[in-house]
Amino acid sequence: MINRKRALILILLVGLLIIAIIIYLVWFKKPVAPTPGAAKPINPALIKPEISTSTPGTKPRNYQKYDVSKEAPHLERFGSFSKQSNYGNIEDSKLFMTKDLSAWVDTYAAKLRSDHAAQTYYDIETKALSFKVDNFDAKLGKATVIVATLRRESTEAVNKATPYSQNLTLGYVRVDDNWLVNDVRWANK
């Protein structure tokens, strides 16, 4: 019985000693000042990216080699538009087009606006499913890509779309060092 009491008292004293050490370390211990000349650790979250001071131009500054597989998002942007966004996606895609196609896009967007002016809602959503490089001639600076798409056309309500498959043929030409879309042809539905 005496051994149990001694063991219990010993455990309580060790526990109180541990609690006292923790209290001392948390509240009373002052932080150690770094020694002069010692290297400070760098926090990667505090490093700010370099800020560009150049003025952006109208020409894209992508100096990478052309990769045709990157074209699906641009196609989807061109093929997806709505009356509510004033057909802005079509006009925003002009950055990737030649001057001739860009002029056609202005006419096409104006035609869409007039054709669907009486409708309260009009929308086409396009998803690129696959593509095939039909023709590529680096020396002539010409390429043709056929893209299989799935499109949904809504004419009166947002959730009442009619899905259909439609191929798109894109004709590219090299202007300076950039490949730009010069021809756009949707196949019949």
Tokens 């680096």, residue located: 138
Q: How confident is the model at residue 34 (pLDDT cuts 50, 70, 90)?
A: low
44-69: per-residue pLDDT in tens? 656 555 555 555 555 555 555 555 55
DSSP state of 23: H
Report which of residues 81 and 117 the model is more confident about. Answer: 117
Paired sense of beta strands 123-137 and 178-186, if any: unpaired
**Choice between 53 and 83, residue whose per-residue pLDDT is larger:** 83
Average pLDDT, the chain: 77
> In angstroms, how far is CA 185 from the centroid of its own chain?
26
Tell me if residue 53 falls in helix, strand or coil.
coil
Q: Report the relative pairing of strands 81-82 and 142-154 from DSSP bridges.
A: unpaired
Indicate the DSSP class of residue 37.
T
Give 143's pLDDT tier (boundaries 50, 70, 90): very high
Residue-range domains of the chain with CATH: 68-186 (3.10.450.230)
**Structure pTM?**
0.56
